[in-house]
Amino acid sequence: MPIKIPLSAPDIGEDEIAAVTAVLRTPRLSLGEKLVEFESKFASYVDCAHAVAVSSGTAALHLAGLVAGLQPGDEVIVPSFTFIAVANAVRYAGAIPVFVDIEPQNLNLAPVAVEAAVTEKTRAIIAVHTFGVPASMDELLKIAQRHNLRVIEDACEAIGAEYRGRKAGSLGDVGVFGFYPNKQITTGEGGMLVTNDAKMAEHARMLRNQGRSASGEWFEHEELGYNYRISEINCALGIVQLARIKEILAQRAAVAAMYDQRLRGIADLQLRPLEIAQGKISWFVYVVQLAERFRGAGRDRVATLLTERGIACGRYFAPIHLQRAYQNVPHRCMDLAVTESIAERTLALPFFNRITPEQVDEVCSALKDALA
């Protein structure tokens, strides 16, 4: 059966379409006023002094590592239970990913495991706010301070999330966001680097534009740079989406609550909490953990049964350290027992701003049938 309920869907309205069309009526499609406006409004939203818009969240991660000073041979502590771009960005800088286990409660880096992974080669920690749930930043920042490490926050899934009253992405040395179409807000393709360090921001702006300085000539380059520019079209879309962020986050929280109400109490499911004591969740996806007896092939069979009924689902995340791309490249693994167990039992259900109660009902009914 063809997919009738997708895993995700962008929420684009007439205001977004009008904003994009307006840019197309101007002669400036790159490095223009919309870029400046998007950066300014985003910096204000996350309460950081500087924001640098780029072509993707992956590009933002790459630049974050470079402006944080990563050098070939440095070690960077990362989770394996996350999107592969986190570790790839470390490799782009010539550094070595060190895969560390996660906490079963929030699915983020376990501070105790992070502490145990630190060596004389460690230079940074990448704290991912997985599924929009803030990582244990107090503990991670204390570890970083003790060992003189940089902290890069990957908030690509967590725009609007809060940790003890501060926005995710604003607590470390540098934060990154992504705006792919499955994210809370989208620019089509795009990302953002945020920091309170003016030199880091200036360096990132130079690197995203082929290594050109702001005051230099177009064909003069100060260092090796990249084409990580983002278009005015993407920025115009982002400005309108960001203006709706409060409404969007409320819609997504309401969808999570619908799922929770319908699935609560099923013996074979462990649901994520709707609220956390130390902050605020920004709902990126809605994931459930299946009972241990479904681990691996059982979870995959449930996913197949949902797909056969036209319902998309996602097996988030395939651990990075087990993927072919990491079998013959330098990396280091700590004990990853929690990561491997949870990865084989986790399933993401259809989740987007305008999913209807009837669609949620259909997904939940199909899931219950598949579990049975």
Residue 1, CA distances (Å) to 281, 305, 357, 372 in order: 34, 11, 22, 21
- Of 4, 41, 121, 183, the catalytic one is 183
CA distance 23 to 230: 13
DSSP H helices in the chain: 14-24, 33-46, 57-67, 85-92, 111-117, 137-147, 198-208, 232-243, 245-263, 297-308, 337-343, 357-371
87-114 exposure pattern, b = at least 16 Cβ within 10 A, e = fewer: bbbbbbbebbbbbbbbbeebbbbbbebb
Catalytic, 121? Answer no
- Pairing mode of beta strands 332-333, 96-100: parallel
End-to-end C-alpha distance for the chain, whole angstroms: 21
Whether 105 and 270 have beta carbons less than 8 Å apart is answered as: no
Whether 259 and 313 have beta carbons less than 8 Å apart is answered as: no
- Only one residue has tokens 């990362």, namely 78
CA distance 351 to 313: 9
Whether 211 and 72 have beta carbons less than 8 Å apart is answered as: no
Give the pair of three-digit tokens for residue 273: 């909490």
Structure letter (DSSP) for residue 329: S
Give the pair of three-digit tokens for residue 200: 């880091």
Residue 209, CA distances (Å) to 9, 90, 201, 224 in order: 31, 20, 13, 10
Catalytic center residues: 183
